Structure 1
Amino acid sequence: MMSRLVSSVSLVFLVLLLVLPLLMIDGLILSVGDVSYDSFVGCLVFLLCFYLASLLVSVIFDGTMRAFGGLFKRPVSNVLFTVVNFWVSLSVLLWMDLYVESITISFATKVVLVFIHTLLFYLMHHLSDSTAKASEVTESLDPVVKEALRLLENEDPVPCVETLCLRFPDRTKKDVIRIVHRLHSK
């Protein structure tokens, strides 16, 4: 009982830590923008509902965009993700504004709000790409990666995995498969 309470409180605290900066930024935008609302708590609930709805809809669209993202080079794919995220978030906000009567936000303020969210999304996406590139540079020094690159020039992935597992018994087969799959799909 007590451990569930502690874990629940920890989860709520973690969510607040993640959402609080967004709430502060959005609160600043709403206080400067053309907004009218019945209560401050209602405004916070509206923003939290917007985050949740936008997250749920974005998960669907992001999955679809990732499926199509392989068709484009990385910079084009990032811009495409960003544009789709902007329109999805704006659509969610416009849809919510239709049904929530206790808060009224001007269209310009909605665009600024969604633009800031999209900019943050793009920066996070770009940061994750930079982290992935840094890990690729580190991984390229790995002798398994070098050997896999050499083997993949003449062999299919399955015999390559078998050969690498024999040559590097200290590496797990799952790790070798992951390396070969990543290199083969480039």
Structure 2
Amino acid sequence: MRIRKDLRRALGAGHPVRVRRGIKGADRIDGYVVGIGCKWVLLHEISSEIRLDGYAAVRLRDVVSASDSGWAGSGFVHRALKTAGEPPRPLPEADLDSTTGLAETLGKGFPLLGLHVEEVDPDVMYVGHARGVVRKKRLLLQEISSKAHWEPACIRHRLDDTTRIDAGGGYLDALHRVGGAPPAC
């Protein structure tokens, strides 16, 4: 309950937070809280170059802390982004109440998604074009390699294993620019 309160306070105040999760090997995320649902929280991520860099949706149940108090540079980062004219932007169409809804709405809004299954393997991010959710809560993902080559077939990923979904941002946008539109699968 405290975490949800901290996230709501950050959303209302419009200040960046550092989010830590209780998944072994999961990275911390610096960003602005731009949405909170029943199951997911959406962050507009801040890159190490102090730029807003895409979105990260993480499961609420995994969040163990979300505050600016343990992040000495948060005030500077906030002022730097403000003077650069980079306000955090919410995604009102993102369904943060269910994993299926989140995957579907982000998949419609962005050409590529980054799918994390950190409890299974914290070092893997599956990247691809979401082709929709099929029966038994599986996301049909046409994957693109780190060299921007499209896989010819779509892969089904269990949404129950999903701990984080990324959308937008420099890396995913660059893959999409180089790889182009996905071929039919």
Q: Same fold (TM over 0.5)?
A: no
Q: Which has the larger radius of gyration?
A: 1
| TM bracket (short chain) | under 0.3
Q: Which has the higher helix share?
A: 1
